[in-house]
A and B are shown apart, each in its own frame.
Chain A
């Protein structure tokens, strides 16, 4: 008897854990949807789903870049600061028109990514330290460029933030296209495979002659560019550039989405669908608690529980 239970329990637990690793985040999203449809008034409406999607779009975009960086066994803490930088640069150059402003934003973001990537790839600084410098410095620079919130009235920017195609807001379209693009890059390109190999075993990738440094730098540049896109979109939605608060704690939201979505922090694997679902899960969780007017501290506790569950489920993944 006792033996039998001893044998079956661990087996079941491994199976449950493996299932949770793969499908836990989708199950969580499904569960929250069902619960909300039952208990939340006015939940089942196109308008509501549109709201949730629009709110989560910038988080998804940042999380895509974060997933790539985490895939290389790194982390980018500077995404929130890059969003702020993008916001202030947008405001600063909007006088030339939206497109020129976006080009300048891209230049700044690429510069930030290049700085992160170079520190990691050439100097060999640990990613968490390398990007911490820009996390603090980037927001400082953003505030120097634009010391306070500035309202923006550019019609092109406004329509970017609130316009739609056949009822689907641009924000959602852009996030969806970027998610598909990043998933494609990870699965089907040389770059994607090299990225995973580097994240899984950097010494092996090096000895296999992969362009390790180039891949790392490109990854950090892409991550910064995606953060900048999110920064511009959030600014467009707000119709104001707010470098003081835009993107605050975004790095944590993005890392949470990636980890909850089943991408291990140890690198070598990137789960884009899971990352999107992870961001949606957190968004739905927050929305549920807000809609039911529960105290804000509950939101933080709920998020913490989700992260703990995700980390617990991911525990087995580290072992090989």
Chain B
């Protein structure tokens, strides 16, 4: 499975090289092949004398306080729940327990950074012992990560899965130890309340609907709009599209979706596609970008074409700091948040469950939204 071992080595070692805090890792670095050490040295020198634009200001980190106050969307009556009796296992006190957290992707985008941070903050707030692992976007590594966490004595697991399938070996190992599992942001294809306890995530269809509401409000419900789709074959893409189109059809028949092209969730592609769009359809009223990056790409394209803020209404989903700043600046009409702060909700669920009370099997995290009215004051909440 390890097709290209080089970058992984490179990554981990250079990371250590950059921070260079723990001497135990230093000796391992010396033991690695020369080439890798060399790469580490390159990274080290590069970052030690580097000077980026923001070094002076250093205002980028969102405050942890932004985490406060998280609500569960009220579960619909009749939705399934789970209890410790049904799941098997014994009651424990969360405060004395060890929680293992397995992150799927490397923390290279704001969502993952905020997600991991939120779990860590909540564990610290509750005084729970937390073990973390990061699979670096490799599924095989995530499987062994989780097995590792179990071996290290995790009593409870929070998993952000990279894939939905292929979890059987881990689930069996966890079941043998009766370790409750909560999955966040992506679902595992397995039986709830048997293989895992609960699944906590945003409702992407609902995000699409709320984006449509914002778009209808911004455009007045009339005219032609475009959609910048996410990566093809991704459930986030399909669900955010579905919700948006449903709501537009239902509430504003005057609003027509005339253009749907993929921007692959990247800023560059969002920019390129928008450039083509405004060439061929100069009368476009609004652009719905299925993530913030594509929306910011659209902003860059509009700026490049000499448009003014507000000429074309842009609505995006995610709620990153850059996009919310775009709302403040007037380029973006609205941002629907996709909440990465699973910490409080995940721990609350585990707490309730281990006390023996019932918890819902599917928990929807509440997403907030930013528009011209609240963007400036809530900028600190954006991640």
Contact = CB atoms under 8 A, between A and B. Distances in A.
Given A141-B39, A246-B268, A291 B279 contact: yes
Contact of B282 (A42, A137, A140, A147): A42
Interface stretch (A25-33, A207-215, A233-241, A264-272): A233-241
A42 B305 CA distance: 15
Given A95-B53, A137-B39, A144-B43, A149 B267 contact: yes
B185 to A, nearest CB: 18
Given A55-B275, A162-B304, A244-B109, A144 B10 contact: yes
A234 B267 CA distance: 11
B172 interface: no
B328 to A, nearest CB: 14
B64 interface: no
Interface residues of B, number: 56
B18 A144 contact: yes
B45 to A, nearest CB: 11
What is the predominant secondary structure among interface residues of chain A facing chain B? helix
A15 B67 CA distance: 71
B55 interface: yes
B113 A148 contact: yes
Nearest to A138: B7
A96 to B, nearest CB: 6
A3 interface: no
A147 B107 contact: yes
B276 interface: yes
B213 interface: no
Contacts of B11: 140, 143-144
Given A95-B53, A238-B297, A287 B276 contact: yes
B280 A55 contact: no
Contacts of B266: 242, 244-245, 248
A176 interface: no
Contacts of B106: 143, 147
Q: Chain A interface: which size bin? A: 35 or more
A40 interface: yes
Nearest to B229: A296
Interface string B257-274: 011111010111101110
A189 interface: no
A49 to B, nearest CB: 10
A89 B268 contact: no
B86 interface: no
Contacts of A139: 7
B51 interface: yes
A237 B4 CA distance: 32
B312 interface: no
B52 interface: yes
B54 interface: yes
Interface string A237-261: 1111010111010000000000000
Contacts of B277: 290
B268 A95 contact: no
B259 A51 contact: no
Most-contacted residue by chain B among A40, A145, A152 (CB, 10 A): A145
Interface string A20-59: 0000000000000000000011110101100100110000
Most-contacted residue by chain A among B106, B108, B232, B262 (CB, 10 A): B108
B365 interface: no
B232 A148 contact: no
What is the predominant secondary structure among interface residues of chain B facing chain A? helix
Contacts of A143: 11, 106, 108
Nearest to A287: B276
B276 A51 contact: yes
A236 B288 CA distance: 25
A89 B108 contact: no
Interface in B36-93: 39, 42-43, 46-47, 50-56
Interface in A111-153: 111, 132-133, 136-137, 139-141, 143-145, 147-153
B77 to A, nearest CB: 40
A144 B110 contact: no
Contact of A238 (B15, B54, B107, B267): B267
Given A293-B258, A293-B259, A238 B268 contact: yes
B145 interface: no
A91 interface: yes
A92 B232 contact: no
Contact of B268 (A47, A234, A287, A293): A234
19 contacts: A43-B279, A47-B279, A92-B52, A95-B50, A95-B55, A132-B4, A133-B6, A137-B10, A139-B7, A140-B10, A141-B39, A143-B11, A149-B267, A151-B322, A238-B268, A244-B266, A287-B276, A290-B280, A291-B276
Interface of B: 4, 6-8, 10-11, 14-15, 18, 39, 42-43, 46-47, 50-56, 106-110, 113, 229, 232, 258-262, 264, 266-269, 271-273, 275-277, 279-280, 282, 293, 296-297, 300, 303-305, 322
Given A133-B6, A148-B109, 7 more contacts: A55-B275, A92-B52, A93-B52, A94-B51, A137-B7, A290-B276, A293-B258
